[in-house]
Amino acid sequence: MTKKIFIMALFLVSIPQMALSDDDKGPWKGEGEFGFTQTSGNTDNQNLIGKLGINYLQQRWEHKFNIASLRTEDSNQLTAESYGLEFQSDYKWSEKQYWFNKIKYEDDRFSGYDYQASISTGYGFNVFETKISSLSLEAGIGFRQSQLLGAADAEQEPIAVGKIDYSRKISDNATFTQDFSVEAGSENIHSEANTGLKVSITDTIAMKLSYTLKNNSEVPADIEKTDTISAVTLVYDF
């Protein structure tokens, strides 16, 4: 299975999920980020980062699409570049329980991988959700295809997936967020932790401080297993 065919298959999986929603327009919401970052690990440079997230909620279905990019140039030389796409559909059985289907693609050559792509499905549970805080858990299984830089063939393997997502409002205009996700296979365990503090400036504009830690258990000998990204971004809610 080639890289292009696998990516096309990922997006074809999402089409039936979208078709199951009603034709009527449901509530949309989105969030865009842009800012300056400082990284350490495989790259130690100043960077520009951009993110876009869009949610669509219709009755029992919630669809979430996220895209992120990171790019660095040093003396007109490209020193870091990564792109990520993620699409998830949740079917809510009740206020607390839901079933999710997720597709994910990441192209980050400074991680030691040409690309990593996965399809997963599983069970989600909203432990609690109040006006102050929320906590949700996810666990499931899936399939991942990834290719190390310089490798002739891509690795394909079944994976177990999990995620913890927590948020807490610490003041009238400030919210703390913490999430942790993992994809565990026999060839590689990929994990990512994101910590954020979002402070509202106006009803639609906020400032966000974030710290991201990414880890791959198996990488080439000259590549570090862990990358970190510290970012200050402006956020626009729409």
Residue-range domains of the chain with CATH? 3-18+90-237 (2.40.160)
For 34-78, the pLDDT digits (tens) are 987 666 677 666 778 899 999 999 889 999 999 999 887 776 677
Taking all residues of the chain, what is their mean pLDDT, rounded to a whole number? 87
Classify residue 221 by its DSSP letter.
Answer: T
The model's pLDDT over 200-218, given as tens digits with 9 standing for 90+, comes to: 999 999 999 999 999 999 9
Inform me whether the pLDDT recorded for 18 exceeds 60: no
Separation CA 172–CA 41 (nearest Å): 35
What integer pLDDT is reported at residue 75 of this predicted model? 65
> For 74-86, what is the mean pLDDT?
81
Phi first, then psi, for residue 3 (nearest 5°) are: -60, -45
- State residue 59's pLDDT score: 87
Q: Give me the long-range contacts of 7-14 (CB less than 8 A, separation at least 24).
A: 7/105, 7/117, 9/119, 10/103, 10/105, 10/117, 10/119, 11/87, 11/103, 13/101, 13/103, 13/119, 14/87, 14/89, 14/101, 14/103
Structure tokens at 180: 């942790």
Q: Which helix (H) or strand (E) holds 39?
A: strand 28-40
* Token digits of residue 188: 């590689």
Residue range 96-147, pLDDT digits in tens: 999 999 999 999 878 889 999 999 999 999 999 999 999 999 999 999 999 9
